[in-house]
Structure 1
Amino acid sequence: MDILQIIVLAVLQGVTEFLPVSSSAHLILVPVLTPWQDQGLGFDIAVHAGTLLAVVIYFRHDLMQMATEWSRSLVTGTVTPAARLAWGVLLATIPVGLAGITLKGFIGVHLRSPLLIAVGLIAFGLLLGWADWRRRGEFDVYRLTWLGMLLIGCAQALALFPGTSRSGITITAALLLGLNREAAARFSFLLSIPVIFLAGGLQLVDLFRSAATPDWNALLLGVLLSAVSAFACIHYFMAFIRRIGMQPFVIYRVVLGVILIAVFW
């Protein structure tokens, strides 16, 4: 990998991981639309580690409170709002974990074509736009029911389909369940932590089995760039959606999907 490819892929992963535009779709399309070869499993793990680092640092105070009160709930049985949110994140992670283990091989082989990505971008983009347009809820994350958290987790499993966007589908589900935009994005970002961690763990196992020799300089640069770009993305995204909403991302998804259909049909 040359330096330009490292920068483009790391920043692209950092920005698109938390925007509702599908990071997996963009990473799949880069080697399709450029002369660059696939970046390899090791680099994928590195840039995902960078985005994980960014979201943990950004929500560090929330996570510390959630972890403390969750641990206390195991001993005392008293479930505070922060402990309940932690339990909810764990509950909502179960569906995507089961789906990922079951469908990982099938998706990697059969669902990575540009046309299928285009379908996912357009269909789930329009669903996000409709959910944002009709939203009536003003709830925060602490008003989510157990069923609501599980439903968002089930929706998150759809993100295994390239072009769906994990953040996009979870924000869509949260909006439909009555959360306000900022709360929907916050819950989506908290959900990303165990998902990125588990996905990275599975990829790490595959990397060890492949006996590949990593380029440590490329990996470290990828971690750094993806972490910085992801942190900035989370910060500005939260402020952006509070004022403007999701419609610009919907337009981007539809336009990109139409371009892909026009090019690859």
Structure 2
Amino acid sequence: MHQLSWLEAVVIGALQGVAELFPVSSLGHSVLLPAVIGGSWAQDLDVGAPESPYLAFIVGLHVATALALLVFFWRDWVRIIRGLVTSVVRREIVNSEQRLAWLLVLGTIPVGVVGLLLEHTFRTVLSRPVPTAIFLVLNGVILLGAEVLRRRAVDALPAGQGPSGPAPQRGGVDQAAATVTLRVGAETTTADSTAGEAADRRLAAMPVLRAVGIGTAQIAALCPGISRSGVTMATGLLRGLSHEDAARFSFLLSTPVILAAGVLKLGDLAGPLGDGVRPQILVGSVLSFVGAYLSVRFLTRYFENRSLRPFGIYCIAVGTACLIWFGIR
């Protein structure tokens, strides 16, 4: 049985942490990079092989990525969990915390059910280099298409109107609602907390069907090469969200999905598939955690005033280049 080298663990661990949250498909890159390099990489890092330690390795990386999201959005998750608990105990949905919690639950159910039923089929049938490269190109088309359609929708609105009403500042919240309170002479600031609460209130105001539709889009990410964050952001943009709010909702939606997918397969790490590669899994997971944390920190700021276009162009270029490489090699 093939093992994982330290170099493979370091490269894939760092790649997973970054690519999972950037709208470029971490699974797609995990399939394509070994295929492009070839040799022992293609043998060791075959996610579709049932006896490969690579699957156990990917499980560890997913758990690390989810933990990074939990750490970054810990304030949001405290509010969300509190809202869910109080909603169940009191049998009510009366505030934004409770409503956002249920929107995330309902938005997660479709991909959870389909993932449990078809994940193995998707992985073993589609996780090959050529289909993955094709899906990566399609992912780029989705990102660019969403930007074009959203721009047309915005241009068609009366002057001063945003996709969902009067043109907002910073993704839909009036600047006065996001007033930053600073403590003079102190190192602490409530800026991030205030902005996060305002963003959560905007997301909680979404209609239920809109939230479920955005969450359902994650099913497409079972195809290697289709990005979970990319397809949910694209759907969010088409459903009237700003880039900033679409990214935030995507990250919140993906956290329980990524964590559950990893936890359900943690047994692989303790079983034969984890034998001989647990140290590499640990190192790769640490790098994945760091990469994911830095990525989400960057992307939440990036999407305050930027678009998906660069990522769409990247996916089309890389996917096309891989198809050419596989064709001439």
State TM-score, norm by structure 2: 0.76
| Distance in 1, Cα, partners of 2:326 & 2:273 | 35
1:110, distance to aligned residue in structure 2 (A): 1.4
Compared with structure 1, are the counterparts of its residues 22 and 211 closer, same or farther at alpha carbon in structure 2 (3 Å cutoff)?
Answer: closer
Change (3 A) 1:69 1:176: same
The equivalent position to 1:219 in structure 2, one of 240, 262, 281, is 281
Look up the match of 1:81: 96
Distance (whole Å) between structure 1 residues aligned to residue 206 and residue 272 of structure 2: 42
**Any conservation in 1 of the 2:56–2:273 contact (CA below 8 Å)?**
no
Unaligned runs of 5+ in 1: none
1:220 to partner: Cα distance: 1.9
Are 1:48 and 2:110 an aligned pair? Answer: no
Identity of aligned residues (%): 35
Deviations 1:82-108 (CA, angstroms, capped at 9, x unpaired)? 211111111111111111122123212
Partners in 2 of 1:238 and 1:151 — Cα distance?
A: 22
CA distance in 1 between partners of 2:117 and 2:254 (Å): 19
The change in CA–CA distance for 1:211 and 1:5 in structure 2 (over 3 A counts) is closer
> 21, 33, 36: which is aligned to 2:24?
21
Q: 2:118 aligns with which of 78, 99, 103?
A: 103
- The Cα offsets for residues 109-138 of structure 1, whole Å up to 9 and x where unpaired, read as 211222212221222322221212332435
Alignment of 1:1-265 (within 5 A): 1-34=4-37, 35=39, 36=41, 37-38=44-45, 40-79=54-93, 80-135=95-150, 136=154, 137=163, 139=172, 140-208=202-270, 210=272, 212-265=274-327
For 2:145, give the aligned amino acid: W
Dislocated runs of 4+, deviation >6 Å: none
- Residue type at the aligned position of 1:141: L
* Rg larger in structure: 2
1:232 deviation in Å? 0.4
**Is residue 133–residue 319 contact of structure 2 (8 Å, CA) maintained in 1?**
yes
Partner Cα distance (1:206, 1:221) in 2: 17
Q: Is the 8 A contact 2:80 2:100 kept in 1?
A: yes
Conserved 8 A contact 1:41-1:207? no
2:199 matched to which residue of 1?
none
Cα distance between partner residues in 1 of 2:309 and 2:130: 23
In structure 2, what is the Cα distance between the partners aligned to 1:179 and 1:199? 27
- The code of the aligned residue for 2:137 comes to I
Aligned length: 265
Structure 2 distance, partners of 1:156, 1:57, is 22
RMSD: 1.8
